[in-house]
Structures are given as structure tokens and as C-alpha cells.
Amino acid sequence: CNKGRALLGYNSLLDTDFELSKEWSPSNERGPETYIKSTSTWVYWICPTCNGEYTRPINERELSDDSCPYCKGTKLLHGYNSFKVKHEDLMEEWDYTNNYLLCNSEYILDTYSYKVWWICKDCNYKYFMSPRLRIFYQHRNMISCPHCKGLRQKKIHFF
């Protein structure tokens, strides 16, 4: 009878799903009272866990779903899910000097697959490995340093 239009007090998102409308971002042009739950419009949401702002269609959202890309680890939110924040124990082995031009640990996720430099805490050997593989070795209690594993390689000189 209302042809898919929101009627305040009857079928708007604010009325049908009040808890979900609390995650509505003030960055949106219109409020939750102007949309219905079945609308496929992309709007901004604020995650209650990490306070990150992200976009998602209204009809794909449910209360306490896993739609936040920052909590899922698919998008970077500085100070929340960066490699430096999530893996402080591995930052002891991070080679800041040689990684200066490659990448910054504050701007990558733990799924970063490009190789970076590490310094072994046991033998001070510098080796090249992706953070993703380095975490893989750590979770399985495996030795990540090729020198400590017995894999001898040519000496790499840095200028």
C-alpha cells in the first residue's frame, strides 16, 4: 500500500530495527527514518566494536553480523588491526632500516604477502620473508630463520 516508501512510525528502518539503526553513521545524507529494511541502497555504518566507518547495503545488514571489514581483517583501520598492533611480539624481529622503503608495519595487515626483512633474535641473521608466512611459522611453532634451520645462503650486502 505504500509502494516501497518508508512511513515513519510504521515500516522505516528506525521503527522495524531500532538496534541496527544505532549503528547508522551521521555521514549519511538522510536518516534511518527515510529507508525501509529491504532497500538495497549503500549507506555508511559505524561498527560498535572498532568504531570504524564502512559502507554496506541496508538489506544485507543484520544486528551483530560480521559485515565490518575492519573486524574481519579485510581492511586496515590504523591503531586497531594493523600488523604492528596485532603482532607486537614479532615487531622485535622487524628490520626497520631495510623495510624503510618497502613498507611500514602500521600500514599493512597480517595477510600482507610481499616479502619484507626480518632480523633473527637468536643469530642476528637478516632474512627476507612475507609477514603472512612469518605468522604461519609462528602459529605452528616452526623456526622461521633460514640460517637457524640450517639453510645456508649467500651473504647479502646492504648499501
- Convert the pLDDT of each residue in 86-116 to its tens digit: 999 999 999 999 999 999 999 999 999 999 9
Rounded CA-CA distance 145/126 in Å is 8
Q: Which of these, 86, 94, 157, 156, lies nearest to 129 by C-alpha position?
A: 94
pTM reported for the whole predicted model:
0.76
Rounded CA-CA distance 147/144 in Å is 9
- Convert the pLDDT of each residue in 38-53 to its tens digit: 888 999 999 999 999 9
List the chain residues with pLDDT less than 50. none
Domain ranges within the chain, ordered by starting residue: 13-72, 83-149
Distances in Å between the Cα of 111 and the Cα atoms of 52, 98, 157 are: 19, 20, 28
pLDDT at 47: 93
Residue showing cell 516501497:
4
